[in-house]
Amino acid sequence: MKSILAAMLLALVLINATYAYTVTIHAPAVLSSIDKGTLTTIMLNITAGNGTVYVGTGGSGTVAQDTLASADTAVMYATSSLSINESRYNYRYTIESNGSNVSGPSAGLAMTLLAIGGLEHRQLNQDFTVTGTISPNGTVGQIGGVFDKVQAASSIRAHYILVPAISTLNYQYPLYYLSQQAYSVPVIEVANVTQALPFAFGSPAVTLLNYSIPSTDYYASGLPSASPNCTSCNYTSFGNLMNFTFNFTQSQINAINGTDFGPVKSQLQSQLDQYRAIGSKGYLYSAADLAFNEYPVAFMFSNYRNSTYPDAIAILDNISAYCSSVQAPPITNTNYEYVFGGQARVTWAEITLQNAYQQLNASQTSDAVLLTLEGAAPAYSWCLAAGQMYNTASGMGGNYTVLNPSVSTAALQAVQSLSGLGNGLYINASRTEYASGEYGAALYSAKYAQIFYNGSNNAYPSVGAVNATVAKALEAPNGIWPQQFALQSKFYLYEASVSNSTVAPQYLDNAYTTALLSVGLGDVNTYIGNNLSPSTVPYNIQNLTAQLSQLQYEMSLTLGALIVVVILLALVLCVLLMMLSKQKAQQPQAVNVSQQKPRRRKSG
């Protein structure tokens, strides 16, 4: 009997020894102690057992439930794909975490490759790393923190990193390319475990990830020249605003590192040149708007080194300081459209910037920081545009005016009409502007909200409705902005006529929306123009007063600085005099006898 038991024990030992196998892999992990991607080693030890899956840190750190669930899914998929009974073995994963807690499902693909390698007694390549969630059918799912994880991969000079395959339109796709170029680690997309296996166990050819920014080729060469229909519009001033937008977008493109991001820089430049061609045909706002929308992409690529929280805070603070420095001039009967439009854009910028601060404070990865910077870029460009609009308004002259009290009531009614449309940017802006007494800007923002948030985009309008609305917009626009929106609707109408059936409906919808905005802003301008009252103070005196006030403020600062300098110089002089006096007192007083003259006695 004893011999039988001994034989059975020996058999169990032999079986355990036969099936025991240990494999390792490098994998980026998210450690909750620092909330950043860091490279770690995951080890899997497979022994004969009963199907138990265990995950530990090899130390005092804990493992979150989502990581445990990823291990279960990894083992289930691996045993199923290899037609192995899962319950024959025990699976012990150990994640090196240096005592930190481990969380997140992004090690799912790594755990799956380990399970396959362990069950087949095959070692994985040690010159790569991998990140991605795993599903029961072997699909690799999206992860976060790719920028930090690629940076971690570069610390071991990884030949490549496997990441989940995503659409090129996905918000994370630029980060794939950005991190690859920044850290010289090829980023390889895999959609499932099958695609990952050759990279885990073989020696496949590796190609760099390519990226092209989403762009559109407009038919600028055939675009008919615009035919403006606004006798009171100042096209030169608006042309200056368009060129100003071109210039600040160009400056960000120039700031992109051409060595790392040459293709993107070249593509952005090509797009901007295309927009210049559109502007040369007289579609000033259309061209400026397209350049404006390109600015955030260029901003993110030019600031990719500023991916830390302190760097991002500094950038947001600089934007905030600039926006605060932009001051509106007094309104006149000729410049109010630029003043109120500038006020609206500053408010849009402030709300956008506030959201960026909140997003940044909640960020845990460099991905989130970079996306925050991209999201904050429009705030800076809006303030830049507002500053240019204020400069234009200051030079337009006219009679100084004030808004009639009834405008505040109209602004309140416009704000209240948005109550059922949610909390979009323009809605919040109109509320903010009304609360701060900027009633003209509140009417503008409310009109933007009514056009863009009224649900009209749920279905494409008919061609007849588009043509009729565009014709109405082009008929008699009241003001430079309504006129430019009317021309933009004409621009989109032309693009729809020469485009294929896939994109033509979107162009028609854009034409319809901008035509509605043209008519709506024209109505607002008409209302404001009818509710301006002349001021008893002429504009030139009011403007001079404002300039003198600013000059007085600057002189007070200069005088204060001079007083401080004088006080400091006086203190330094006093110290020097005291030192000289002390030094003189300490020196012995030598008497030159030869030079003393004898005294003459007086005769009595």
Give the list of residues 6+ apart from residue 593 with CB closer than 8 angstroms, or none. none
pLDDT of residue 282: 93
Q: Tell me the pLDDT tens digit for each residue of 141-194.
A: 988 889 999 999 998 899 999 999 999 889 889 999 999 999 999 999 999 999
Is the predicted pLDDT of residue 5 greater than 70, yes or no? no
Selected residue with higher pLDDT from 81 and 586: 81
Give me the percent of the chain exceeding a pLDDT of 90: 66
Residue 33, token pair as written in the block: 């102690």
Burial of residue 445 (CB within 10 Å: 0-12, 13-18, 19+) is buried
* Closest to 401 measured CA to CA, from 575, 563, 589, 531: 531
Selected residue with higher pLDDT from 355 and 592: 355
Average pLDDT value for the chain: 86
DSSP 26: E
Is the predicted pLDDT of residue 496 greater than 50, yes or no? yes
Residues 211, 175 contacting (CB under 8 angstroms): no
Give Cα separations from 17 to 49, 84, 85, 507 (angstroms).
12, 18, 18, 69
Show the 3-state SS of 240-303.
Answer: HHHHHHHHHHHHHHHCCCHHHHHHHHHHHHHHHHHHHHHHHCCCHHHHHHHHHHHHHHHHHHHC
pLDDT of residue 579: 66
Residue 13 pLDDT grade (very low, low, confident, very high; cuts 50, 70, 90): very low
Residues 479, 337 contacting (CB under 8 angstroms): yes
Phi and psi at 401, nearest 5°, equal -135, 165
Phi and psi at 418, nearest 5°, equal -95, 5
Selected residue with higher pLDDT from 382 and 476: 382
What topology is assigned to 19-201 in CATH? Ribosomal Protein S5; domain 2 (3.30.230)
Strand, helix or coil at 209? coil
Residue 204, token pair as written in the block: 């496949």
Question: Crossing angle for the helix pair 366-394 and 309-325, nearest 10 degrees?
Answer: 10
Q: Tell me the pLDDT tens digit for each residue of 99-144.
A: 677 888 989 999 999 999 999 999 999 999 999 999 999 999 988 8
Give me the percent of the chain exceeding a pLDDT of 70: 83
Give the list of residues 6+ apart from residue 601 with CB closer than 8 angstroms, or none. none
The CA-to-CA distance between both ends of the chain, in Å, stands at: 154
Burial of residue 1 (CB within 10 Å: 0-12, 13-18, 19+) is exposed
Is the predicted pLDDT of residue 30 greater than 70, yes or no? no
The H or E element spanning position 40 is strand 36-48
pLDDT of residue 32: 44
pLDDT of residue 598: 39
Is the predicted pLDDT of residue 287 greater than 90, yes or no? yes
* Closest to 93 measured CA to CA, from 22, 11, 196: 22
Is the predicted pLDDT of residue 18 greater than 90, yes or no? no
Residue 373, token pair as written in the block: 């910077």
Lowest mean pLDDT among 5-9, 98-102, 192-196: 5-9
Among all chains, which residue has been given the structure tokens 């507002």?
Answer: 386
Q: What is the pTM of this model?
A: 0.80
pLDDT of residue 100: 75
pLDDT of residue 14: 43
* Closest to 128 measured CA to CA, from 57, 55, 202: 202
Q: How far apart are CA 264 and CA 259, in angstroms?
A: 11
Q: Tell me the pLDDT tens digit for each residue of 544-577.
A: 444 444 445 455 556 655 665 666 676 667 666 6
